[in-house]
Structure 1
Amino acid sequence: MTKLKPIAQQVVAIVGASSGIGRETALKFAAKGAKVIVAARSEPGLLSLVEEIEAAKGEATYILADVSDFQQVKAIADKAVATYGRLDTWVHAAATGILAPFEQITPEEFKRVIDVVLMGQVYGAMAALPYLKQEGRGALIHISSLEGRRSLPLQSPYSSAKHGLEGFLESLRVELQHENIPISVTSILPAVINTPYYNKVKTKLGVKPTGIPPYYQPSLVADAILYAAEHPTRDYIVGDVGRVLDLLQRLSPSLVDTLLVLVGFQGQRTKEVKSEDAPNNVFAPITGYDKVEGDFRHWTIPSFTEWLEKILP
């Protein structure tokens, strides 16, 4: 059985940390005494995050990285070990997306989402595993999505990437078990979360996109990540609605098809006009969104069944 260190004794790398779930997670790890190395493409976001952590007497360093490039991802793990002497937990949250009908997505756009959302996570595991093996234990925590269990319309590249991630983690987990290597491999599967994701992705819907409400706050996902950093966990669905959707998908995928035909198209559109030429973060970072929360706090609800993930194997 894998035994993980207390958070206060850990060195944690957090990839995709300039905003949203990654940023909130970095703040919470640092507040509990972990030494954190944070990575993203947005230098202003990383600088402000490190300043916030240090102002609260935490310890952090940053490195710029585009996760579609393996050497840049490897540099994150290398810097963690060079700075703090080891690596205990790897948290991979970097993502981008395009909301559009499949026929309006170019091959280059589709591939870019796969490169960031799937290959970036693969590169993360490749970079972190040698150092975790050196320590003889540790945690790989990958931020997946309920879209890894159930794809949504208008998000075919992102859903494809998350399904690929789930397949990759299942394979890796069994290989490590076969080798009797005590490294925990966790998939965190959030429902719709109130982060700046929907501000930053590319849209070809003619309007600013949204997740299908209700939303949950990023702190709920960060709490799940911190739990998995101390308690070996296979999968952790975040949000009651996510657990309901997962159950429905298992019982009747065709029923979920029908529900998504009814709510999945209008439900991902706001009334705010937005051009497909508007700035987006698919190929390069954009400024102005280096924060934890997005614009949908008024649509957030609490979740009451998180305890389920802590008692299930």
Structure 2
Amino acid sequence: MAGRVVVVTGASGGIGRATARAFGAQGAKVALLARGEVGLRGAAEDVTAAGGQALALPTDMADYDAVREAGRRAERELGPIDVWVNVAFSSVFAEFVDIEPEEFKRVTEVTYLGFVHGTRVALDLMLPRDRGVIVQTGSALAKRGIPLQSAYCGAKHAIQGFHESLRTELLHHGSGVRVTIVHMPAVNTPQFGWVLSRLPKQAQPVPPIYQPEVAARALLYAADHPKRREYWVGGSTVATLLANKVVPGLLDHYLARTGFESQQTDQRRDPDQPANLWRPADGEDGRDYGAHGVFDERSHPRSYQLWAAEHRAVLAAGALLGLAGLRLLCRMRR
């Protein structure tokens, strides 16, 4: 990635922040898009300290004109965009009947249409050159809905359908532009302290929880290996999606029984915690939230499933060698 131009949306915190830093460590030129200017400054410092070049561009992903201008400015100041990574999102933790229609609309505009806007801007710049990579940050919740996150699950399901449709169109035209999607497990990001919540207790990711650097490594790998249509990160993602294919009805009842408690800690929710649905959280308190949430002690620093995805060729070769050895052994015993 050294010298390549990369755009990361949602770069002020969480997965986007860790991803920007990961590209910076590869020597990339990274354009950082997000609303929170405090977080953007921190992200730019992270990228520079890691060895990359940073350009902070305050942008609301729900505003297509703003996203288009950010893309054009990134090209003017950094050069032709090679990779565009969509990460930005917002959400509401609440039962569907407790989410106001304008709140649901706002989540959809940021989380789904934000990806659509970013993808359209990237394609407008990449298609004339017939090269480039677009990476969508998906989720296990793009294929399996859970309680208390109807707005987010709906948006992520929409991103999955959008990705599949776009990918087939690019394949039809034989385009050199690649698109892929990376489905994430529960990640230890600051969102659980800044997403609008109406839960009685503090929101938390559904265990097992992974560190944001795991997600960042997956997005970095996908950007460098975009021919695969999608990646699954974390054993929990694999287990959830496979179970949903085989016994979706049973999973409905399981989540109805466990999904409320598993998404809340034992502590009461702070009624004064910031909510970033309408404005960036760091704009309210001037705090740089960084990449990590408060669940470091419970979070995994690696994903064996991701390691397997990164080493498919080695594992396949090992399997073939093992099979050949087994066949040889069987012949020798005859």
TM-score by length of 2: 0.88
What CA distance in whole angstroms lies between the structure 1 residues aligned with 2:109 and 2:163? 16
In the TM superposition, residue 308 of structure 1 has moved relative to its aligned partner by 4.1
What CA distance in whole angstroms lies between the structure 2 residues aligned with 1:30 and 1:55? 8
1:18 aligns with 2:12: yes
Give the aligned partner of residue 296 of structure 2.
297
The question of whether the paired residues in 2 share the 8 Å contact of 1:138 and 1:184 is answered with yes
Which of 24, 34, 40 is equivalent to 1:30?
24
Which of 248, 252, 256 is equivalent to 1:253?
248
Alignment of 1:192-231 (within 5 A): 192-231=186-225
What CA distance in whole angstroms lies between the structure 2 residues aligned with 1:149 and 1:115? 19
Secondary structure of the structure 2 residue equivalent to 1:205: coil
User: Residue by residue, what CA displacement relative to the aligned partner does 1:89-121 show, whole Å, maximum 9, x if unpaired?
Assistant: 000100111011111111011111000000000
1:245 is aligned with what amino acid? T
Which of 37, 44, 54 is equivalent to 1:43?
37
What CA distance in whole angstroms lies between the structure 1 residues aligned with 2:196 and 2:267? 14
2:203 is aligned with what amino acid? P
Give the aligned partner of residue 70 of structure 1.
64
Secondary structure of the structure 1 residue equivalent to 2:2: helix
Structure 1: gaps of 5 or more residues: 1-6
Which of 89, 92, 98 is equivalent to 2:92?
98
| Structure with bigger gyration radius | 2
1:79 aligns with 2:60: no
What CA distance in whole angstroms lies between the structure 2 residues aligned with 1:147 and 1:55? 34
What CA distance in whole angstroms lies between the structure 2 residues aligned with 1:272 and 1:70? 39
Number of aligned residues: 306
Q: What is the aligned-residue identity percentage?
A: 38
Give the aligned partner of residue 237 of structure 2.
242
User: Residue by residue, what CA displacement relative to the aligned partner does 1:194-244 show, whole Å, maximum 9, x if unpaired?
Assistant: 111111101111222112111011111111111111112311111111111
The question of whether the paired residues in 2 share the 8 Å contact of 1:142 and 1:187 is answered with yes
Give the aligned partner of residue 3 of structure 1.
none
The question of whether the paired residues in 2 share the 8 Å contact of 1:204 and 1:276 is answered with no
2:120 is aligned with what amino acid? M
Structure 2 CA distance for partners of 1:181 and 1:147, relative to 1, 3 Å: same
Give the aligned partner of residue 61 of structure 1.
55
Alignment of 1:158-169 (within 5 A): 158-169=152-163
User: Residue by residue, what CA displacement relative to the aligned partner does 1:284-311 show, whole Å, maximum 9, x if unpaired?
Assistant: 1012353011011122134212244343
- Relative to its length, the structure with more helix (as a share) is 2
The question of whether the paired residues in 1 share the 8 Å contact of 2:135 and 2:180 is answered with yes
Secondary structure of the structure 1 residue equivalent to 2:304: coil
What CA distance in whole angstroms lies between the structure 2 residues aligned with 1:163 and 1:227? 23
The question of whether the paired residues in 1 share the 8 Å contact of 2:23 and 2:52 is answered with no
Secondary structure of the structure 2 residue equivalent to 1:265: helix
1:309 is aligned with what amino acid? A
In the TM superposition, residue 275 of structure 1 has moved relative to its aligned partner by 5.1
Give the aligned partner of residue 166 of structure 2.
172
Give the aligned partner of residue 316 of structure 2.
none
User: Residue by residue, what CA displacement relative to the aligned partner does 1:147-168 show, whole Å, maximum 9, x if unpaired?
Assistant: 0010110100000000000000
In the TM superposition, residue 247 of structure 1 has moved relative to its aligned partner by 0.6
Structure 2 CA distance for partners of 1:203 and 1:131, relative to 1, 3 Å: same
Which of 107, 113, 124 is equivalent to 1:113?
107
1:297 is aligned with what amino acid? D
In the TM superposition, residue 50 of structure 1 has moved relative to its aligned partner by 1.3
CA RMSD of aligned residues (A): 1.5
Which of 284, 287, 300 is equivalent to 2:279?
284
In the TM superposition, residue 10 of structure 1 has moved relative to its aligned partner by 1.4
User: Residue by residue, what CA displacement relative to the aligned partner does 1:138-192 show, whole Å, maximum 9, x if unpaired?
Assistant: 1110111110010110100000000000000000000011111111111111010
What CA distance in whole angstroms lies between the structure 1 residues aligned with 2:274 and 2:199? 14
What CA distance in whole angstroms lies between the structure 2 residues aligned with 1:46 and 1:289? 9
